[in-house]
């Protein structure tokens, strides 16, 4: 471990109102995601100044603390302080009046909070599938060779069993029994159930107690199980309230499964598929209408979506689109200019600034964006602080996104676009696709670099004593180190 994160964890927990104020905690690739009892106890200004914290996103009783690529270390230390072994997570959150805004915020939080812990597995599977694709492209193996079949199976694992992963993650978010959630989700990927759905798709009648079952394919899906697990949390509490204490050990789980599974199969599952399909259709209808302009707009907006954490909203859409068509041609191509552009802007800041600490921060943050596709260090450590370099990155995202849309660039996986993951955009039937992608990445670096120098920025004096820049410098430096030697993260559980 390059740094003792116990001090960072203690300071973060203190500024969040103490360990007793933490209800639940998960982490994604760069952020600690807290759920708190009392948002009034959050000292956001002091939290931003904690040495080791790169930024804070505060929304009601939810607080995201940006740490960087070493977030797993901070997560482990915070878990020790808060003792989140289930006791704290069961503490009821304060009731909030439901309004359309609150409902929308809760839905977004549920989706982002559920999907964020699953991203490493999804990216890992995507990269393995890309490796298999490259072996085929260079004629190292034939498509029916056992090596290719096994690599594709390894890569598909996270996607085929995505409903089970979503159930496990959502059970933490909705504070319900994980084993029951996994068991019910497992029904949807059981071989017998898949066979029945195939028969239903062919026109054969399939019913449960005389009620027709809609033919749905649940592998590679997110929304159905997310909704099912949310409903399960209410079913579990209701069944618990009506079952006698002496029968809870056997009667309670049996009733929960017998109630929740049929509801999921008959109603919630098909409804979730319809919702997911409608969202995907809406997104790609915009793409179909605006064409390359939709990719350009997404490229310009992407850094702002990352700032708020809303970029994870597109994860289910990307997964479903790749599963159905094999490629995704709107969101992922738009990230080329956005991610690489933020890295190029940071390099320009490092080139021009006279501030030694800012120079080190910019170099490390730029490397994180360029090499790993992780842009939070660049956003919070450099661009948001200096503002005009962020504008340069937004312009770059628009221009490069538009060019990617015109070229018809599409991704075969969900890894964050970077120099190391550029292979995800290779079309085996079009060798020039690699030339296009590498050319767009080079343009992103040059364009954002030049625009940053043209727009300029207000440099930070060397003698300015700021806690936050110091924290950003050290965290970004560690991020660069971790790109070379990544450390496996402990599973994000609360």
Average pLDDT over residues 242-266: 91
Asked if residue 437 lies in contact with residue 336, where contact means CB atoms within 8 angstroms, the answer is yes
- The set of catalytic residues is 28
41 and 75 share one domain: yes
Are 80 and 185 within one domain? Answer: no
At 47, which CATH number? Answer: 3.30.1360.60
How far apart are alpha carbons 230 and 263 in whole angstroms?
12
Identify the residue whose tokens are 């605006």.
Answer: 290
Residues 315 and 363 in one domain: yes
**Span 418-441, mean pLDDT?**
86
Q: Which tops the pLDDT comparison, 123 or 438?
A: 438
| Residues β-bridged to residue 26 | 33
Residues 315 and 462 grouped into a single domain: yes
pLDDT digits (tens, 9 = 90+) for 131-163: 888 788 788 998 889 999 999 899 888 888 999
Check whether residue 248 and residue 328 sit in a common domain.
no
Question: How many CA atoms lie less than 13 Å away from 94 in the CB half-sphere?
Answer: 12
Percent of the chain with pLDDT over 70: 88
Residue 488 clears pLDDT 60, i.e. is over it: no
Q: Which of 69, 96, 123 is the last residue of a domain?
A: 96
Number of structural domains the chain divides into: 3
Given a contact cutoff of 8 angstroms between Cβ atoms, the answer to whether 368 and 479 are in contact is yes
Position 463 scores a pLDDT of 56
Per-residue pLDDT, 220: 86
Same domain as 358, residue 302? yes
Q: Which domain holds residue 54?
A: 6-96
Query: What does the pLDDT look like over 369-393, one tens digit per residue?
Result: 898 888 888 888 889 889 999 999 9
Please give the torsion angle defined by the CA atoms of residues 39, 40, 44 and 46, in that order, rounded to the nearest 10 degrees.
-130
When the pLDDT of each residue in the chain is averaged and rounded to a whole number, the result is 84
User: pTM of the entire structure?
Assistant: 0.70
Query: Crossing angle of helices 162-173/223-242, nearest 10°?
Result: 50
Question: At which of 96, 122, 149 does a domain end?
Answer: 96
């Amino acid at each position: 471990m390059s740094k003792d994160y116990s001090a960072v964890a203690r300071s973060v927990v203190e500024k969040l109102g103490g360990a007793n104020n933490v209800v639940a905690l998960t982490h994604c690739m760069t952020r600690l995601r807290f759920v708190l009892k009392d948002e009034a106890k959050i000292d956001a200004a002091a939290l931003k100044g904690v040495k080791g914290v790169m930024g804070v996103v505060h929304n009601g009783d939810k607080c995201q603390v940006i740490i960087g690529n070493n977030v797993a270390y901070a997560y482990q230390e915070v878990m020790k302080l808060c003792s989140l072994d289930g006791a704290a997570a069961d503490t009821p959150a304060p009731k909030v009046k439901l309004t359309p805004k609150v409902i929308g915020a809760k839905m977004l939080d549920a989706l982002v909070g559920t999907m964020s812990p699953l991203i490493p597995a999804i990216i890992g599977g995507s990269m393995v599938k890309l490796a298999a694709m490259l072996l085929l492209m260079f004629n190292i193996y034939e498509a029916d060779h056992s090596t290719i079949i096994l690599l594709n199976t390894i890569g598909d694992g996270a996607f085929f069993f995505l409903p089970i992963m979503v159930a496990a993650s959502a059970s933490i978010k909705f504070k319900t029994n994980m084993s029951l959630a996994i068991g019910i989700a497992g029904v949807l990927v059981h071989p017998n159930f898949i066979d029945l759905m195939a028969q239903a798709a062919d026109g054969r009648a399939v019913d449960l107690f005389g009620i027709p079952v809609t033919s749905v394919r649940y592998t590679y899906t997110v929304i159905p199980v997310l909704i099912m697990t949310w409903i399960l949390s209410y079913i579990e509490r209701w069944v618990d309230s009506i079952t006698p204490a002496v029968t809870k050990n056997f009667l309670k789980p049996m009733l929960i499964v017998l109630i929740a599974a049929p509801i999921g199969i008959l109603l919630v599952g098909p409804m979730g598929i319809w919702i997911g399909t409608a969202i995907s259709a809406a997104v790609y209808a915009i793409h179909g209408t605006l064409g390359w302009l939709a990719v350009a707009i997404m490229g310009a907006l992407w850094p702002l979506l990352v700032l708020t954490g809303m970029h994870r909203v597109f994860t289910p859409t990307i997964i479903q689109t790749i599963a159905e068509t094999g490629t995704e041609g709107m969101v992922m191509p738009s990230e080329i200019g956005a991610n690489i552009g933020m890295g190029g802007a940071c390099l320009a800041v490092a080139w021009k600034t006279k501030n030694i600490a800012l120079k080190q921060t910019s170099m490390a943050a730029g490397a994180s964006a360029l090499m790993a596709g992780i842009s939070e260090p660049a956003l919070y450590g450099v661009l948001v602080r200096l503002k005009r370099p962020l504008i340069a990155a937004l312009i770059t995202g628009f221009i490069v996104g538009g060019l990617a849309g015109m070229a018809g660039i599409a991704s075969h996986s969900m890894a964050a676009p970077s120099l190391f993951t550029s292979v995800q955009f290779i079309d085996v039937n079009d060798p020039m696709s690699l030339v296009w992608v590498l050319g767009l990445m080079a343009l992103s670096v040059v364009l954002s670099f030049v625009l940053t120098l043209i727009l300029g920025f207000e440099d930070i004096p060397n003698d300015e004593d700021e806690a936050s820049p110091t924290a950003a410098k050290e965290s970004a430096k560690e991020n660069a180190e971790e790109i070379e030697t990544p450390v496996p993260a402990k599973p994000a559980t609360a």
